[in-house]
Amino acid sequence: MKKKVAVAMSGGVDSSLTAALLLERGFEVFGVTMLLSIGNYGEKPLTPNSYLLTPNCISDAQKVCNYLGINHHVADFREIFRAEIENYFVEEYLRGRTPNPCVRCNKKIKFGKLFDLAKNLGADFFATGHYARIIFEDGRFKLKKAVDLKKDQSYVLYNLTAEKLAKIILPLGEFSKVETRALAEKLNLPVADKPDSQEICFVPNDDYKNFIATREPSAQALKDGEIIDSSGKVLGNHHGVANYTIGQRKGLGIAAPQPLYVTRLDVENKKVIVDTNDKLFSTTLTACDAHWIYKPPLPKTLTAKIRYGSKFSECTVAEEKNFLRVIFSEPQRAITPGQSIVFYDRDEVLGGAIITEENFCK
């Protein structure tokens, strides 16, 4: 009897090719598409890149399923997505932090709620179009970087568990994006030339400021305040701490003899603190809410990324009560509370945690 695989299908080329490849491998495949949100939280219309939210993504996924001759299911996750992802996104900015909604969505929704639904629908395995690899090695399943490091998405998957890795298939981990496009075209998939989404899928026009202001218009973090330097000198004014992030230079609207960057956000006092670029570098951070796929003996020297687009850097990870202390071999720029730090042993993802101030760890 064929093994059943549920493929999370967004209507894009990656998930569509995933379904096609698994069919070729002899699996019984069906698609599942999440309905996450329909509606406009601002005055601007949804953009084409917001396809994950709109009926277009469902129709595109259905079109691919029809072409492949497989069943298609739509999961209405609007309520849980709003509670777990959209609300979290807003709350983090209102705390003066920079959230990572993709990491949380993978944990709570895609590899949480949707994974469970797929199992209830009879799936033996769950597959997505992520660029990462799952390898059985040394007696256990390991999550590893994609072959194409420029496209590697292992960073956003660190919340997976060893048990789930045994039930997940990631066919695109061996491919580059160019190869994916070429193969999709060769198979004549209806979405072969569909552009990739570059935006936060639930924020219309990538305007997160308007999204937050519409949700919480009277929040302290959206009130006017002062932009000051590290000595307390007032350099200008702002229209809400939530509109800034660590390391930002553009849009400050201040004049200074040298470039200044956001180094700290003080929501309580409505202050945006700026300083020179060299003040953005640090060799140490603390992180809470650690999750380990495989926890090594600590302290241990590993490599890590402090955000999705950052480079891999060597660091020593130690455990202290309810948080992790991470010391890097080289200074890191713009360490940002709310972002994830993800730990690697060579090409294997061991786990990760949320970057924060030490006094935020419970």
pLDDT digits (tens, 9 = 90+) for 339-360: 999 999 999 999 999 999 866 6
Tell me, what's the pLDDT at 72?
97
CATH number of domain containing 270? 2.30.30
Domain membership flag for residue 211: no
The confidence score (pLDDT) of residue 359 equals 67
Which residue numbers are catalytic?
Answer: 105, 201
35-39, 74-78, 210-214, 262-266: the lowest-pLDDT one: 35-39
The Cα diameter of the chain in Å comes to 72
Distance CA 206, CA 212 (A): 12
Residue that is last in its domain, among 149, 179, 206: 206
Q: What is the mean pLDDT of residues 72-78?
A: 94
Q: What mean pLDDT comes out for the span 155-183?
A: 97
HSE at residue 68, side-chain half, CA atoms within 13 A, is 31
Residue 71 is assigned to a structural domain of this protein = yes
- Which residues, listed in sequence order, are joined to residue 76 by a DSSP beta bridge? 35
Query: Residue 210: what pLDDT?
Result: 92
> What does the mean pLDDT of the chain come to?
92
- pLDDT-derived band at 48 (thresholds 50, 70, 90) equals very low
Tally the domains of the chain. Answer: 3
Which of the pair, 201 or 31, is modelled with greater confidence? 31
For the cut 70, the answer to whether the pLDDT of residue 25 exceeds it is: yes
Domain match, 155 and 237 both: no
- Which pLDDT band, with edges at 50, 70 and 90, does 302 fall under? very high
Higher pLDDT, 37 or 310: 310
Which CATH number do you get for residue 178?
A: 3.40.50.620
Tokens, residue 120: 């209830």
| For range 208-235, the mean pLDDT | 95
Residue 68 is predicted with a pLDDT of 98
> How far is residue 193's CA from residue 254's CA, in Å, rounded to a whole number?
43
| 346 vs 304: CA distance, rounded Å | 10
Do 14 and 161 belong together in one domain?
yes
| Domain match, 188 and 250 both | no
> How much is the CA Rg of the chain, to the nearest whole Å?
22
The pLDDT, as a whole number, for residue 75 is 94
CATH code for the domain of 308:
2.40.30.10
Domain hosting residue 290, numbered range: 280-360
Q: Which of 45, 142, 90, 208 has the alpha carbon at shortest distance from 351?
A: 142
Same domain, residue pair 260 and 291:
no
Tell which of 226, 250, 275 closes a domain.
275
Say whether pLDDT at 51 is over 70.
no
Q: Tell me: the pLDDT tens digits for 93-134?
A: 999 999 999 999 999 999 999 999 999 999 999 999 999 999
Structure letter (DSSP) for residue 359: G
16 & 87 share domain: yes
